[in-house]
Amino acid sequence: MPAASGLAGHARSHNLLELRGIEKRYGTVLANAGIDLDVPPGSVVGLLGENGSGKSTLMKILFGVVPADRGGIVFRQQELSGHTPAEAIAAGIGMVHQHFMLFDGMSVAENVLLGLGGRGRLRLADAAMAIRRTSETYGLDLDPAAIVGDLPLGSRQRVEIVKALMRDVQLLILDEPTSNLAPPEVARLLAICSRLRDEGRSIIFISHKLGEVLEICGHIVVLRDGRVVARCDGSASRAELARLMVGRDPPPPLARAAHAAGKPLLALRGIELSMSDTASSGSICFEVREGEILAIAGVDGNGQHELGRSIAGLQRPRAGSIRLGNEDVTRWSVGARVAAGLAYVPADRATTSLVPRLSVAENLMLRDCTRPPFGQHGVLWPSALRRVARAAMAAYAIRARSGSMPAGQLSGGNQQKIVLAREIGRQPRVLVVLQPTWGLDPETTGFVMAQILRLRDAGAAILYISSELDEVLALGDRIGVMAGGRLVDIMERAHANSDRLGLMMGSSAHGSAA
Amino acid sequence: MTARLVVAVMELPAFRAVLALLLAMLCTGILVALAGASPVAALQAVMAGAFGSIDRIAYGLNRAAIYILGGTGVVLCFRAGIINIGGEGQIALGGLCAGWAVLRHPGAGPMLSVTSGLLGGMLGGLAWAVLAAIIHVVRRVNEVVVTLLMNFIAGLLVEVALHGPLGEVGAGFLQSPPLPSASRLPLLVEGTDLHAGILAAIAVALLAQLLLRRSGPGFALRVLGESHRAAAYAGFSRIRLTIGLMALAGALAGLAGAVEVLGVQQRVVDGFSRGFGFNAIAVALLAALEPWATIPAGLFFAFLETGTRTMQRRIGIPASLVVVTQALTMLFVLAAMAGAGRKGARSARPAIAG
């Protein structure tokens, strides 16, 4: 592997940031086992690794969120140790977390102003002007008066970037920045990154998406089990990086049984979604048949959540009807739809599909506590619950000490496995699933997709909604695109490719509008 | 090795509780000394007031019954994220309705009289709480505001009733006529005031524990307390759960009021339940929102109260110091328990971080 020239062995003064022998232990787990990392000025350093490889811990230590057990940090020739995030910010380090740290009810300008902290008296109007200026310089396309909660995720991320830029950061940490962006928005983010780099700022780009890492990063550091397993430059091959990251060859592509789809199990007729903003929702019509996956691509925030919620019964559509099998369920309650065989995996694990403080086992019965095997007539059966939990943990390889452990203590991948175990374990006729691989590492992503394919082969009808083109193309028997609250088109698998879908997604997407 | 043992002992909840009590006693002693009295005499007075005689113990147990009943309702509401601080008014109305129900049938036998009193009390508290719940759910008024303000109205309603239809004519004090002796709660120990309320309270707390842990509605309310979105996703109706829970908590508070009126006062006296509802909230928090734990917490609070009241009378320290003493003890105990909880969470959380 080509050793990147700027990374090791150079004089100290050349690097913007140097991490030396960072070590951090959580209980019995060594999250960081002596990590060295150098970031030269004006560079984009990719930090690659699966979930649990120690990326987040390392960045938390750098940003002063948790202290390191051992090791040193030198930033701009200054030793940083025992620092707080406020001190890291003051020193010129900015971080954009995967889950944005924004106040949804406030405007862009107010959020930026709050982020500036105690730097004298800055008036809102001045902030707005500065935001507009910065936004134009870097092509961020932000309206200072817009309310953050109304913005699509891509724009919110740019609010975070503006926050950092207004503090004149020299080092910007981007944690999984593309995990919820559509292809056009990813391209835009990468353009912003190269612009910052050309100005002499540096970026640590955390990701497990190899394509974009190779595209933007001059240096790449691969972590596995808390150690640096490789340092390479942008000329490394994708396959090589993938192998380094997981420590073995990637799984073979998913096998799918070829079979004709049966009768329609889920049918939407003339559905008009109630959207949070005033944007028009077109009339949506489609069917999903037995043994078929209808995959829907689209930039996040174009009505996918509203579509999922409407089918699940969590919100009423403005018009139209929803049929499940032979029955019109448009006015049915959530529970009645679950009982009728409708499973639903929403995108939001943190507050909807999982209750972090309840145990793994309790999360497994979240939507089924009124039915055997979990209970009946309002009485719960704890021993049955323990049994089901043990079986599900084995079948879905959920890594937890026991079923009574709080689900929030598990990694994102294991949490999503709980949700899938519950929704698929019920053997539903119809599964509606949104962004099920968000924030998961490649291995877990593969596992999730395999489970969904297996359910399809067992004869269920599946609606798979995602902004990940690769997944949509890999899974869909038919593939549709949502933009602006409408279903733009549905095509056969054979006719779909990423260019065509990307074009349709970008055409009338909210994500590109400010 | 020794060090490890010491650490292990220090982590024991019992040890922490005892330590908290000792610290509270130390602080109280300092305050008492500053007020010019002898700390030793003060402590003796507290113990004598709480456990000094059968009558004192009976008094404490009767009071504990109120706190356990009220506290259990509060625990259930708080676990569902419904901040019901209307126990004060629900207890007052419960007592009033119990008295009213009994006085309506002056010639009834013990069975009918006690049953109608208890039922009346429960329905009174229930109605008051459900009214608050409906205002909260339908008009979307914050439940803290509704339940808090309705406490004042309830207190005034009791006054109005005692001024009017339920008042004793010619009494110097605002109170109802004495209740017929048939309505008196059965005594546990003849010759004392100890009535069966404490047993009912313990049974209620244990049943609530079962409800919370082993029933569908209990699971639903725990989910609701964690996340409204998750509850909607799971198919639980927030409105139905809120009204149902408030009804239950109101009924328990009303029962507490009825127990006080039928078991102790034997009449409705103005202000008979002052402070009960708020103390029940303190008990619920002290119980760390576990229904069964309202039993020790309620006992603790009741005996703390009876003991410190005696301290005030015997050694003549200011009444406000008694409240300070109670609050200090609560603070120390809560701090010890909060510390234990955080410690546990810290060591457990990162173990499976990957």
* DSSP states of A315-347: S--SEEEEEETTEE-TT--HHHHHHTTEEEE-S
Considering only the beta carbons, identify the residue of B215, B229, B234 that sits closest to A378.
Answer: B215
- DSSP summary character for residue A148: G
Residue B263 pLDDT exceeds 60: yes
CA end-to-end span of chain B, whole Å? 32
* Residue that wins the pLDDT comparison between A441 and B247: B247
Print burial letters for A472-501: b (CB count within 10 Å at least 16), e (below 16).
bbbbbbbbbbbbbbbbbebbeeeebeeeeb
**pLDDT over 90 percentage in chain B:** 59
**pLDDT over 70 percentage in chain B:** 94
Q: For residue B218, what pLDDT is reported?
A: 95
Give the SS3 label for residue A66: coil
Residues β-bridged to residue B99: none
**Mutation target among B79, B209, B210, B219 for the A interface, most CBs of A within 10 A:** B219
Distance from CA of A418 to the nearest CA of B (A): 14
For A36, other C-beta atoms within 10 Å of its C-beta total 15
Q: Compute the radius of gyration of chain B from its Cα atoms.
A: 22
Count how many residues are written for chain A. Answer: 514
| Cβ-contact B119, B280 below 8 angstroms | no
Q: Which residues of A touch B234 (CB under 8 A)?
A: 334, 366-367, 369
- DSSP summary character for residue A499: H
HSE on the CB side for A484, CA within 13 Å? 13
Q: For residue A506, what pLDDT is reported?
A: 65
Segment B123-139 shows an average pLDDT of 96
Considering only the beta carbons, identify the residue of A29, A312, A369 that sits closest to B353.
Answer: A29
Q: Verify whether the Cβ–Cβ distance A355 to B353 is below 8 Å.
A: no
Considering only the beta carbons, identify the residue of B216, B230, B353 that sits closest to A369.
Answer: B216
Distance from CA of A168 to the nearest CA of B (A): 33
Q: For residue A313, what pLDDT is reported?
A: 94
Q: Which residues of A touch B351 (CB under 8 A)?
A: 26-29, 401, 409
**What order of strands is seen across the sheet that includes strand A29-39?**
A29-39, A17-26, A70-75, A78-80
Residue B353 pLDDT exceeds 50: no
CA angle B94, B97, B102 (to 5 degrees): 125
Torsion angles phi and psi, residue A108, rounded to 5: -60, -45
Q: Verify whether the Cβ–Cβ distance B227 to A344 is below 8 Å.
A: no
Measure the CA–CA gap between A17 and A40, rounded to whole angstroms: 7
HSE on the CB side for A170, CA within 13 Å? 13
pTM of the model as a whole:
0.76
* Nearest residue in B to A335, CA atom: B235
Torsion angles phi and psi, residue A3, rounded to 5: -80, 130
Chain A contacts in chain B segment 233-252 (CB below 8 A): 233-235
Q: For residue B240, what pLDDT is reported?
A: 95
For residue B193, what are the CA distances in angstroms to A161, A453, B102, B188, B265?
71, 71, 20, 8, 11
- Give kind and range of the element (H or E) at residue A29: strand A29-39
Q: Verify whether the Cβ–Cβ distance A51 to B354 is below 8 Å.
A: yes
Residues of A with CB under 8 A from a CB of B: 26-29, 31, 51-53, 57, 312, 314, 333-335, 338, 344, 346, 348, 351-358, 362, 365-367, 369-370, 375, 378-380, 382, 399-401, 405, 409-411, 414
Q: For residue B343, what pLDDT is reported?
A: 40
Ranges under pLDDT 70 in chain A: 1-13, 51, 117-122, 180, 182-183, 248-255, 276-281, 506-514
Distance from CA of B256 to the nearest CA of A (A): 27
Q: For residue A118, what pLDDT is reported?
A: 57
Distance from CA of B9 to the nearest CA of A (A): 21
Mean per-residue pLDDT of chain B: 88
| Cβ-contact A388, B254 below 8 angstroms | no
Q: Verify whether the Cβ–Cβ distance B215 to A334 is below 8 Å.
A: no
Q: For residue B62, what pLDDT is reported?
A: 95
Q: For residue A5, what pLDDT is reported?
A: 42
Q: Verify whether the Cβ–Cβ distance A356 to B216 is below 8 Å.
A: no
**Mutation target among A409, A411, A419 for the B interface, most CBs of B within 10 A:** A409
Q: For residue A378, what pLDDT is reported?
A: 85
- By the CB < 8 Å criterion, does B219 face chain A? yes
Residue B348 pLDDT exceeds 60: no
Q: Verify whether the Cβ–Cβ distance A380 to B214 is below 8 Å.
A: yes
Q: Verify whether the Cβ–Cβ distance A369 to B220 is below 8 Å.
A: yes
**Please, is B270 exposed, middle or buried when counting C-beta atoms within 10 Å of its C-beta (0-12, 13-18, 19+)?**
middle
Strand pairing of A430-434 and A342-345? parallel
Torsion over CA: A131, A133, A138, A142 (sign): positive
* Residue that wins the pLDDT comparison between B70 and A56: B70
pLDDT digits (tens, 9 = 90+) for B88-117: 999 999 999 999 999 998 888 889 999 999
Q: Verify whether the Cβ–Cβ distance B353 to A57 is below 8 Å.
A: yes
pLDDT digits (tens, 9 = 90+) for B305-316: 898 888 888 887
Residues β-bridged to residue A490: A480
Q: For residue A166, what pLDDT is reported?
A: 83
* Nearest residue in B to A379, CA atom: B215
For A82-158, list the strands marked E by DSSP: 93-96
Q: Which residues of B touch A355 (CB under 8 A)?
A: 223, 226-227, 230
Q: Which residues of B touch A401 (CB under 8 A)?
A: 351-352
* Nearest residue in A to B351, CA atom: A27
- By the CB < 8 Å criterion, does B170 face chain A? no
